[in-house]
Amino acid sequence: MNLQSYNDQDLVKVYIAGNENGLQELLRRHKSKIYTSIYLLVKDQYLAEDIFQDTFIKVINTLRSGRYNEEGKFLPWVMRIAHNLVIDYFRKEKRTPIITSSDGMDVFNMLHFYDESAEEKMLRDQTHKDLKEMIHLLPDEQKEVLLMRHYADLSFKEIADLTDVSINTALGRMRYALSNLRKMLKTKEMTYKG
C-alpha cells in the first residue's frame, strides 16, 4: 500500500489501526517544517532535536491513547505541541533567547560601538537584565509573540499559524506587549530618579 498518496488524517487512522508506516510517512512529510520551527525559536541544534523528539513522544502517546481529535489538522496540532514545549523550556530555564544578527553576533554585545566606561557597561548590563525581567512579567500570550517575533525572527503570519490565532490577534498581542514594556520602563525610570 502506497501511503504517499494518503492525506494526513488517513495516515493517522492507519497508524492508530496498528501500522507504524502511517507515522513514518507523517514524519517524513512534516519533519523538516516542525524541526525548523523549533530550531528558529531555540537556535540550538541539540536542544531543537530534543524538543522535536519530545514532541513526537507526546504525539505518539496522544494517538495511542485515543485522545487525538484534531480532524484534518495534524500539522497545526503537532506545531502547537512543539511550540508549547519550547515555551515550557524557556519558562523553566527562566531565560530569554539570545538575539543574533544575520552574521551570528549577539545583538546585545553589539550595542556599544565605542569604548565604554565601567559605569556605562554596568548601566547597559543592568538595562538588559531589567528588560529580560520585564519580558518575563508580560502575560504569556504577549511574551510568546514578542519572543517569536524579536528573538526567533518569525513573521506575524508564521506566529499566527503557530499559535493558532489570526494575524490581527498576533499583531494586537505584540502591540500590548510593547505598550506594557514601555509602561514598565517608565515606572523603572521614575524609581531610579526618585
Q: Which CATH number fits domain 1-101: 3.40.50.1970, 1.10.10.10, 1.10.1740.10, 3.40.50.720?
A: 1.10.1740.10
Lowest mean per-residue pLDDT among 55-59, 116-120, 174-178: 116-120
DSSP-assigned letter for residue 11? H
Provide the residue ranges of all domains of the chain, joining segments of one domain with +. 1-101, 121-193
pTM: 0.53
pLDDT at 112 over 80: no
The per-residue pLDDT of the chain, averaged, comes to 79
pLDDT at 73 over 80: yes
Instruction: For residues 9 and 13, give the distance between their C-alpha atoms in angstroms, rounded to a whole number.
Output: 6
Give per-residue burial for 136-170: e unless 16+ CB within 10 Å, then b: eebeebbbbbbbbbbbbebebebbbbbbebeeebb
The values of phi and psi at residue 100, to 5°, are -115, 150
114: left (phi over 0), alpha (psi -120 to 50) or beta: beta
Instruction: For residues 12 and 6, give the distance between their C-alpha atoms in angstroms, rounded to a whole number.
Output: 10
Class of domain 121-193: mainly alpha
pLDDT at 106 over 90: no
- Compare 139 and 150 and report the one with higher pLDDT: 139
pLDDT digits (tens, 9 = 90+) for 16-60: 999 999 999 999 999 988 888 888 888 888 999 999 999 999 999
pLDDT band at 154 (very low <50, low <70, confident <90, very high): confident
